[in-house]
Chains A and B, each alone.
Chain A
Amino acid sequence: MSLLTAERIKLFSTRSPWWCGLAAVVLPIGFTALLVGQANGGLEVGVTTTQATANLGRSVVMVLAALAVTTEYRFSTIRSTFQATPNRIAALLAKTAVVAALAGVLGELVAFGSWGVSRLLKPSADLALDSADDWRSVAGEGLVFALAAVLALGVGILVRQTAGAVALLLVYSLLVENLIQLIPTAGEDIHRWMPFVAADQFIGVGQRIPDPAFGPWGYLVYFAGISLVVLAAALVTANRRDA
């Protein structure tokens, strides 16, 4: 418990998480307002439409999560951290828990903020959350954000440099996963197993995969599995190498 408090003090005693958190919430809600406000006839606004720009917030949250650990390496406070808590796995798990919790809260703010602003701008559209699928599409963002933060933190621990970790995460999640479809014949088959594609299947946004391997919750478990594997690899590496 005291480790969680220590990590919470660390996270909120610098400015960048505040700015990242603000951007992560304001950007997707703003773009949702633009998207829904300009929708007419051609675009039918449904519950999943309100979550179409949430991935922007997810990207910013991943930057926040990566920064939470790369700045520790940048300023060598990771050494103070391991000096105070020689059980490195416990220290890093505490950090992961705090960052993931914050990411989850931000995810819910993004999801319900986007949904709320859509309801205000398009009172005529059917945006009521009247099925389990509707609730999954909106409230599920918190889970996706939290797991994306876990993945980003793992990458941050492995890469250690801010620029490298952030570039890797953004280029991969925003470009590589989609461009991979360009590979002849095998491209489509690889694409359907990409982690962020899986997260989108859970929410119900983005490209629909034909003949999906899992149901929505299965895809969430798959995404969680990949995030936890990356985190586990990061913890083992951090425990072994010199701080």
Chain B
Amino acid sequence: MIEAVGLTKRYGKTLAVDNLSFTVPTGRVTGFLGPNGAGKSTTMRMILGLDTPSGGSALIDGKRYRDLHQPLRTVGALLDAKWVHPNRSARAHLAWMAKSNRLPAKRVDEVLDIVGLSAVAGKRAGGFSLGMSQRLGIAAALLGDPQVLLFDEPVNGLDPEGILWIRKFMHRLADEGRTVFVSSHLLSEMALTAQELVVIGRGKLISQSSTEDFVSQATENTVRVRSPQLGALRTALGRTGVSIRDEGESLIVSGMDCADIGELAAQTGTVLHELSPQRGSLEEAFMQLTGDSVEYHTEIAEGQVPATLVPAGK
């Protein structure tokens, strides 16, 4: 279990992480979600004892990372796949890490096998593609067969095959009973990968809940109805007290599901041309929740052009 208590990191005047408290439960995949610059990586570096918190603490199974003995046996982490010397071979990179925690040399070949890099183990890591580098980073994280795993944006920049591989891998790790804490700025990705979600924005906690709860709370379920007798239908629906909104030639109904609307239409003898459930997009929900907490806003809002647009040089 990972536990953050009042975790705070200050760089000069800016608060990168602001009094952040959350827990990452054992044996599940927990997503760490937030827009770019929300403080996810800083938080992960503090959990790993690389950055010193300005306040509060991060504990792994009740201990500070820097108090762990041979920490690779307890916590594996991939924060950045590029943290490898480009002229060192994949095997040598894993070999020194294994040695520093007194792990057997044969474990290096085992993890290379798990991530499918055995064939290029002797090649210099600088020549690896991003996908291969990510695999090498995951191999390094798995070296000590740790119960707790941290991944920072593991699918960033990967091709679809790589994304699918990582996603399956996370599930496999959680199925083996490990604690997986994985950060992302993509809610759609997290909805597929994580069972629990810790959401932050501007270094502050926005919510911690199960992914299911978060998604259903965040997205509004509505039904789109089209009918040549829209007026009659609106009256009938109005009597039930649900909320209705016009959208072009159709009605958007919230608070009633498709089956009930269909039956209501049959009772009132209304012809239906469309009856389709609408799911609010995860991205929209995420934007609504974290909208105020995005650090670098774009200057121009959508569809809005500044009134005084003067050509350059005049």
Contacts and interface: CB of A to CB of B under 8 A. Distances in A.
Interface residues of A, number: 29
Nearest to A243: B50
Interface in A19-33: none
A83 B71 contact: yes
Contact of B49 (A5, A13, A82): A82
A83 B49 CA distance: 7
Q: What class of interface size applies to chain B in its complex with A? A: 20 to 34
Contacts of B77: 83
Contacts of A242: 45, 50-52
A238 to B, nearest CB: 12
Contacts of A82: 49-50
A2 B97 contact: no
Given A2-B99, A9-B95, A14-B87, A76 B82 contact: yes
B51 A80 contact: no
A75 B84 contact: yes
- A2, A5, A86, most chain B CB atoms within 10 A: A86
Contacts of A75: 82-86
Given A9-B96, A13-B96, A86 B84 contact: no
Given A86-B65, A242-B51, A76 B80 contact: yes
A75 B83 CA distance: 6
B100 interface: yes
B101 to A, nearest CB: 6
B83 A76 contact: yes
Given A14-B85, A83-B50, A9 B99 contact: yes
Interface of B: 45, 48-52, 65-68, 71-72, 77, 79-80, 82-89, 92-93, 95-97, 99-102, 140
Which 6 A-B pairs have CB atoms at the shortest separation, nearest pair first?
A13-B92, A6-B100, A9-B96, A86-B66, A6-B99, A242-B51
Interface of A: 2-3, 5-7, 9-10, 13-16, 71-72, 75-77, 79-87, 91, 240, 242-243
